[in-house]
Each structure stands twice: as structure tokens, then as C-alpha cells.
A and B are shown apart, each in its own frame.
Chain A
Amino acid sequence: DAGVIQSPRHEVTEMGQEVTLRCKPISGHDYLFWYRQTMMRGLELLIYFNNNVPIDDSGMPEDRFSAKMPNASFSTLKIQPSEPRDSAVYFCASSLLDNEQFFGPGTRLTVL
């Protein structure tokens, strides 16, 4: 069974460009999480969904960040416009109920 799938694995872009990160959760999982990890701040929860509905987006740093989950098998995290301080590894994770979270391999974003 495939785990959580994220794309792209690496993204290099210039400041001001729009960036879209994609995630496919494990089939049957009802929770989906977006995290950002940096050396300075560690792993931060940005937003999470339950049954495709956003439950808590208090971790989203600012209006430049938005996330959607149009169906149970797909979610996006968009940054527009991107800034150098957005450079980080972005993880998507999914879980069933409040059990173990399974993480995707992450997207390594570099904003020049």
C-alpha cells in the first residue's frame, strides 16, 4: 500500500513566484496535516483537515499561505507570493482518527 505521496520533492523558485505543494494521503485516512520544518523552529503544524474540512489553520504564518482539500485523496498548500524566509521542508501527514500520523517524504522548498 502506498504511503503519503508528496510532490514535488524539491522546488527551487524565485522570490515573488507562486508555489504549489501537493499531497495525496493514505486511502481511508480522515485527517490530513501540513507541517513546515526548519532548523530554527523545528516542526510546526500549519493546518489540518478532518474529512476534507479545515479544522485549525492557526499555524498558517500569514495570508500568503493557503491550503485546500477538494476531496479525500488530494490536498494543496499554496504560497503566493513566496519569500526567501519560506524556505523549509514541508511535510504532509495523514492519520485515521487520532492514531499514528504517517508522514510523506516532504517537499524541500528553496526560495531565492
Chain B
Amino acid sequence: RKEVEQDPGPFNVPEGATVAFNCTYSNSASQSFFWYRQDCRKEPKLLMSVYSSGNEDGRFTAQLNRASQYISLLIRDSKLSDSATYLCVATGGYQKVTFGTGTKLQVIP
């Protein structure tokens, strides 16, 4: 079993739709969690951190469920520019970092 698992998608959604991604992690000792965004043939960039209390940044909401060991990302009112691959990340002690393989999102006009 992979340490961090994501549904690879692709998720094809119309503009304006709400879409949610889940990511499960197997290491219960994981301490920090993040969502990164990666555009085609570009480097990953931080989208948002994921806090235990959940956090929101505009149209994006991230949540953590430690009991079930998953994190989620909700995108409301999808824009064409949201089309990208979304990577979830779990960080354990001493900066042990594990990326998921990513979920591809395609927002359709």
C-alpha cells in the first residue's frame, strides 16, 4: 500500500461546479499536511496547508481527519484556470515528505 494515495482522476467538471478530492495516508505519525498544485510540465507549487481545524482560502477549503487518516480539498465555483494536477503531501518527523501521485482536474467551459 502506498503511503499517500489519491484518485488519479481525471475529474472533468464544468465551470462553476464544486469538486472535492480526498487523499489517504497510512503513516499515523504524519504531522503536517499540504496540498500542492502542479500545472502541466511545471514544478509543484504550494496551494495551501492543511490544519487540524480545517482552513479556507477563497474558493478552496482543506480539511484533515486524523481518525480516518485522510485529507480533503474542496474547490467551489471552479474556474478554467483551476485545471491542474493536485498533489497531497504528508510530512512525518525530520521532514520525511511523501507526495501522493496527484489528482488531475480538468475544468470544462
Contact = CB atoms under 8 A, between A and B. Distances in A.
Given A31-B95, A98-B95, A106 B43 contact: yes
Nearest to A33: B97
Contacts of B101: 41-43
19 contacts: A35-B99, A42-B100, A42-B102, A43-B44, A43-B99, A43-B102, A44-B99, A45-B97, A45-B99, A56-B94, A91-B43, A91-B44, A95-B95, A98-B91, A100-B49, A103-B44, A103-B45, A104-B43, A106-B43
Size bracket of the B interface: 10 to 19
Interface string A74-107: 0000000000000000010001001011011110
B1 interface: no
Given A42-B101, A43-B99, A56-B96, A100 B91 contact: no
A48 B46 contact: no
Interface residues of A, number: 21
Contacts of B91: 98
Contact of B32 (A41, A43, A98): A98
Nearest to A45: B97
